[in-house]
Homo-oligomer: A and B are copies of this chain.
Amino acid sequence: MIRNQKKHPIADPSPQRLREALEKGGCRFTRQRVAVYQYLASVESHPTAEEVYAAIRPEMPRISLATVYKALDALVVCNLANKLTFSDGPARYDCHDEAHYHLRCVKTGKVCDLPTPFDPDLIDKLDPKLVKSLGERGFHVTGYRLEVLGHFEKT
A residues near B, CB below 8 A? 83, 85-88, 91, 101, 103-106, 114, 116-117, 119, 122-123, 126-127, 130, 134, 138-154
Report yes or no: B138 in contact with A148, Cβ–Cβ below 8 A.
no
CA–CA, A151 and B143, complex, Å: 10
CA–CA, A151 and B4, complex, Å: 13
Report yes or no: B130 in contact with A150, Cβ–Cβ below 8 A.
no
Given A149-B145, A150-B139, A153-B140, also A114-B87 (CB < 8 A):
no
State which of B87, B138, B140, B143 has its C-beta within 8 Å of the C-beta of A83: B87
* 7 tightest Cβ-Cβ pairs between the two chains A and B: A85-B87, A116-B127, A141-B150, A142-B150, A146-B146, A144-B148, A143-B149
